[in-house]
A and B are shown apart, each in its own frame.
Chain A
Amino acid sequence: MIRSQRWKGAAFTVPFQLGFVFLYLLPIGYAIHQSLYLEKQSGLGLGGSTTEFVGLENYQQGLTDSAFMTSILRVVLFACVQIPFMLFVSLMLALCLDAVTSRVAGRFRILLLVPYMIPGVVAAIVWINLYSPAVGPLTPLGELFGFDWNFFAPSMVWPAIGNLLTWHGIGYNMVIIYSALQGVPRELFEAARLDGASELRIARSIKIPFVRGALVLTALLSIIQMLQIFNEPALFRNVTPQTISDSFAPIMIIYNQAFNAGNYNYAAALSVLLALFLGVASFLFYRLTSREAD
């Protein structure tokens, strides 16, 4: 390629590069910078406050902040239960779709994707009202079958949010897995059938290994989302503050530190910590799953 042409090609990416510098690199740099400072009240708090360089003190505080570390542990544990469950359901549905005629599959696929069309905030509002003992139909429905459940009880927050996320996520994940399934060479099935393999056996030994990559990817995307969960707990707290604490998820803590406690410096340090944690978690997950493949 001619040299001037290369530079013209580079020019196409300039708007993005500029934007990336101002909207990504600069804010991250600013956050790291802020995280190294701390606003301190001078004297008796009468003389205003001064901002002092404190090095890694904010990070040290963050790593020993039991509320923050608990919230990370909480979402990690939650991820370990909800994500495998959701992906299992999605995988089963994708296998079902793959095994029926394509006309039937097309119909069901659009129905199963309805939740994906609903914005997360609206989905949370709808489910919270479904759960609500006052207006929701689930409480009387439970009574009918002899269950005395109260979704607004603090102990039910996990199942309530887990169900909401699963409901919202299965359609989307199913589509990704399903389209990976479409890529399996159909001759493989014929060959397996001639060898006397049952449909279940074909699903287990050919289809599932074939969509491994799609499963790893959907899991990784779900992990990234889960560690940053904010909308659902925030909406729950908005409607029933007694159900859920304001330090439930890491981003809730960061938001409160920044906007309610007014401690931007500490909030910045916590968000850098969360980013590092997210990077490490994604890397570990990727390594773990790609080593198994060998």
Chain B
Amino acid sequence: MALTENRTENSTERPRGRTVRRLTRPDPAARSRGGQRFLLVGLALASAYSLFPVYWLIIAATKDRVGLYQSNGLWFSDMHLWENLRQVFTYDDGIFLRWTANSFLYAGVGSLGGTLIALATGYGLARFDFPGRGAVFACVVGSFLIPIALLTLPLYLLFSEIGMVDTPWAMLIPCLINPFSVYLAKVYTEATIPFELLEAARIDGAGELRIFFSIVLRMMTTGGATVFLLAFVNTWNAFFLPLTVLRGEENWTLNLGLYNWSGKRQESGVDLTSLVLTGALLSIVPMAIMMIAMRRYWRSGVTMGALK
């Protein structure tokens, strides 16, 4: 608990958190030079391992088919990046753009709705004592153990009965309810919203809804951003749910589209390898930009969710 609060402090007031951490570090000069060098070599090797596939992907995306199959895989040959990009964006009437837009729609709208619901629920669970509160929280935690197949297959059947299969709703609606987001929102509320503040607002005559929308939500910007980011990443990365509920390719996500393209080279002699690789590189870009821009949020979310 103490640890978690510590992390929240770090994430909201990063500069201060950082200097504190730096000051409390043991003096590195106290340790042997050789030991340090050994650690650095280890870290460098691990980083090389982590980066190698991305490096190769970037190189592969610049090659045409001949270069891909015949040139040295670890270095550039002729530059064909623009051709590959044009090919990705124009293949099949620009279906790749459609998939990108779908991925943004499902992840963006679904996570936004899901985050609002989660913040309200987390706030209700953390700051009110009502009958059944324990049961709701038990549902939240218990659902972490439910395998996706157990939920997705019956959802597919239920959705097909009401005619929602193969529509954007089949992806959006399940995103609205995310127990992990609720769990995070509860933890953040406990760390950032003091009871005294709520009492003071009530004494001043503010209604509960007004307190939530104009005080709680505003104070929960950091927590809310973290919940949103993690939900977004989660939906963007989803595979089993879209594979099950989306049939026609005009509703697919990027993941589904790339899956389909990478399987196609088996059939009918079409070789889509350079298309798949360039598309894969493109699909990483939004995620990487978002994660790097919001890294202080998700780092605190990842560790908070885990340590609590």
Determine whether A238 belongs to the interface, using a CB cutoff of 8 Å to chain B.
yes
Q: Are A24 and B56 in contact (CB under 8 A)?
A: no
Determine whether B203 belongs to the interface, using a CB cutoff of 8 Å to chain A.
no
Stretch at the interface among A42-50, A54-62, A97-105: A97-105
CB distance from B289 to the nearest CB of A (A): 10
> What are the residues of chain A within 8 A of B291 when measuring CB–CB?
117
CB distance from B196 to the nearest CB of A (A): 14
Determine whether A230 belongs to the interface, using a CB cutoff of 8 Å to chain B.
yes
| Consensus secondary structure, chain B interface | helix
Q: Are B302 and A176 in contact (CB under 8 A)?
A: yes
The total of chain B residues at the interface (CB under 8 A) is 103
When each residue 135-174 of chain B gets 1 if its CB lies under 8 Å from chain A and 0 otherwise, what string results? 0100100011111111101111110000000000000011
> What are the residues of chain A within 8 A of B148 when measuring CB–CB?
228, 251
Which among A119, A126, A258, A278 has the highest number of chain B CB atoms within 10 Å?
A119
Q: Are A238 and B73 in contact (CB under 8 A)?
A: no
Which among A24, A26, A170 has the highest number of chain B CB atoms within 10 Å?
A24
Determine whether B187 belongs to the interface, using a CB cutoff of 8 Å to chain A.
no
Given A96, A111, A119, A128, which contacts B50 in the complex, CB threshold below 8 Å? A111
Given B26, B72, B236, B295, which contacts A119 in the complex, CB threshold below 8 Å? B236
Q: Are B259 and A268 in contact (CB under 8 A)?
A: no
Determine whether B100 belongs to the interface, using a CB cutoff of 8 Å to chain A.
no
Q: Are A241 and B147 in contact (CB under 8 A)?
A: no
Q: How far is the CA of A176 from the CA of B304 in the complex (A)?
A: 9
Given B50, B150, B158, B295, which contacts A115 in the complex, CB threshold below 8 Å? B50
CB distance from B243 to the nearest CB of A (A): 8
> What are the residues of chain B within 8 A of A241 when measuring CB–CB?
266
Contacts A9-B208, A120-B237 known; A24 to B151 CB distance under 8 Å?
yes
CB distance from A110 to the nearest CB of B (A): 8
> What are the residues of chain A within 8 A of B283 when measuring CB–CB?
119, 122
Q: Are B273 and A227 in contact (CB under 8 A)?
A: no
Q: Are B121 and A135 in contact (CB under 8 A)?
A: no
| Consensus secondary structure, chain A interface | helix
When each residue 247-270 of chain B gets 1 if its CB lies under 8 Å from chain A and 0 otherwise, what string results? 000000001001100110110000
Q: Are B280 and A125 in contact (CB under 8 A)?
A: yes
> What are the residues of chain A within 8 A of B131 when measuring CB–CB?
6, 10
Determine whether B97 belongs to the interface, using a CB cutoff of 8 Å to chain A.
no
When each residue 3-46 of chain B gets 1 if its CB lies under 8 Å from chain A and 0 otherwise, what string results? 10011000000000010011011101011000110011011101
Interfacial residues, chain B to chain A (CB-CB below 8 A): 2-3, 6-7, 18, 21-22, 24-26, 28, 30-31, 35-36, 39-40, 42-44, 46-47, 49-51, 53-54, 56-57, 60, 68-69, 72-74, 117-118, 120-121, 123-125, 127-133, 136, 139, 143-151, 153-158, 173-174, 176-177, 179, 182, 202, 208, 212, 236-237, 239-240, 244, 255, 258-259, 262-263, 265-266, 273, 276-277, 280, 283-284, 287-288, 291-292, 295, 299, 302-303, 306-307
Interfacial residues, chain A to chain B (CB-CB below 8 A): 1, 5-13, 15-17, 19-20, 23-24, 26-28, 30-31, 34, 89, 92-93, 96-97, 99-102, 104, 108, 110-115, 117-123, 125-130, 134-137, 140-141, 167, 170-172, 175-176, 179-180, 182-183, 186, 189-190, 193, 199, 213-214, 217-218, 221, 224, 227-228, 230-231, 234-235, 238-239, 241, 250-251, 254-255, 258-259, 264, 267-268, 271-272, 274-275, 278-279, 282
Listed from nearest, the 6 A-B pairs whose CB atoms lie closest are A9-B128, A137-B73, A12-B124, A19-B177, A27-B154, A10-B130
For this complex, 28 residue pairs linking A to B, each with C-beta atoms less than 8 Å apart, are A6-B128, A7-B130, A9-B128, A10-B130, A10-B133, A15-B120, A16-B182, A27-B154, A28-B154, A101-B25, A111-B51, A117-B292, A120-B239, A125-B259, A126-B53, A129-B277, A135-B73, A136-B73, A137-B56, A179-B3, A183-B6, A199-B31, A228-B148, A239-B263, A255-B149, A268-B153, A275-B147, A275-B150
